[in-house]
């Protein structure tokens, strides 16, 4: 089941956000950089503001009552890069490691495309860490193509994200 997050879900959102980011990128970052990033990106005040932003949308995917992952989408001025009013950004698709390889990422991806169409967007874009081969392969399989890059900072470590896009 996919459901939109509300302010009442911020603590659960913080938990799944920190857990999935750590599981995905913890081994590739120093403990200090990881801790700085988790505190800056996933603190309660920031998440609350993001959930309340009318141009950002968070969705949980649940297996029974358990949050198995989440999706974050941005439109208009909430996008992390200025991409224009006809685009939607998939900022995050994260699945808990216990629920990977069950098709949940694909379900969240389909939700993102559905939301883009509902908001009359003609392009979907995202950033993916240059060394995350699984994610790059997933998005290429879904029809995304690289078009640029940007810096994504984890603590003090400046990392390169490949920007990918798909016309819909």
CATH of the domain at 87: 3.40.630.30
Angle at 21 between CA 92 and CA 144, to 5 degrees: 35
Q: At residue 153, does pLDDT exceed 90?
A: no
Tally Cβ neighbours within 10 Å of residue 133.
10
What are 57's two structure tokens? 């949308």
The pLDDT assigned to 111 comes to 98
Quick check: is 74 in a domain?
Answer: yes
What are 69's two structure tokens? 């992952």
Residues 6 or more apart in contact with residue 43 via CB below 8 angstroms: 14
Q: At residue 156, does pLDDT exceed 90?
A: no
Tally Cβ neighbours within 10 Å of residue 40.
12
Q: Using CB atoms within 10 A of its CB, is residue 147 exposed (0-12), middle (13-18) or buried (19+)?
A: exposed
Quick check: is 142 in a domain?
Answer: no
Which segment of 7-16, 59-68, 123-132, 153-162 scores lowest on mean pLDDT?
153-162
Task: Domain of residue 97: give its range.
Answer: 2-122
Quick check: is 161 in a domain?
Answer: no
Task: Measure the CA–CA gap between 159 and 130, rounded to whole angstroms.
Answer: 8
Reported confidence tier of residue 92, pLDDT bands at 50, 70, 90: very high
What are 155's two structure tokens? 């603590």
> Structural domain tally of the chain?
1
pLDDT (mean) for 83-95: 94
Quick check: is 143 in a domain?
Answer: no
Residue 64, by phi and psi: left (phi above 0), alpha (psi -120 to 50) or beta?
A: left
The pLDDT assigned to 24 comes to 82
- Specify the pTM: 0.91
Reported confidence tier of residue 26, pLDDT bands at 50, 70, 90: confident
Quick check: is 128 in a domain?
Answer: no
Quick check: is 47 in a domain?
Answer: yes
The pLDDT assigned to 154 comes to 84
Q: At residue 145, does pLDDT exceed 90?
A: yes
Task: Measure the CA–CA gap between 2 and 22, rounded to whole angstroms.
Answer: 23
Q: At residue 54, does pLDDT exceed 90?
A: yes
Q: At residue 18, does pLDDT exceed 90?
A: yes
Q: Using CB atoms within 10 A of its CB, is residue 88 exposed (0-12), middle (13-18) or buried (19+)?
A: buried
The pLDDT assigned to 27 comes to 83
Contact 88, 81 (CB under 8 A): no
Where does 10-156 show beta strands of DSSP type E? 56-63, 66-75, 87-95, 123-129, 145-154
Task: Measure the CA–CA gap between 145 and 136, rounded to whole angstroms.
Answer: 9
Quick check: is 114 in a domain?
Answer: yes
The pLDDT assigned to 157 comes to 86
Quick check: is 140 in a domain?
Answer: no
The pLDDT assigned to 134 comes to 85
């Amino acid at each position: 089941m996919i459901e939109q997050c509300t302010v009442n879900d911020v603590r659960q959102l913080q938990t799944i956000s920190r857990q999935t980011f750590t599981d995905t990128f913890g081994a590739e970052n120093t403990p200090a950089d990881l801790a700085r990033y988790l505190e800056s990106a996933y603190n309660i005040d920031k998440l609350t503001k993001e959930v309340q932003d009318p141009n950002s949308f968070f969705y949980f995917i649940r297996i029974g009552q358990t949050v198995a992952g989440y999706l974050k989408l941005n439109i208009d001025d909430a996008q992390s890069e200025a991409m224009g009013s006809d685009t939607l950004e998939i900022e995050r698709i994260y699945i808990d490691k216990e629920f990977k390889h069950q098709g949940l990422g694909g379900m969240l991806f389909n939700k993102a495309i559905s939301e883009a169409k509902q908001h009359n967007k003609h392009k979907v874009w995202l950033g993916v860490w240059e060394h995350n081969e699984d994610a790059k392969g997933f998005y290429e399989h879904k029809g995304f193509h690289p078009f640029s890059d940007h810096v994504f900072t984890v603590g003090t470590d400046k990392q390169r994200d490949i920007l990918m896009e798909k016309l819909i």
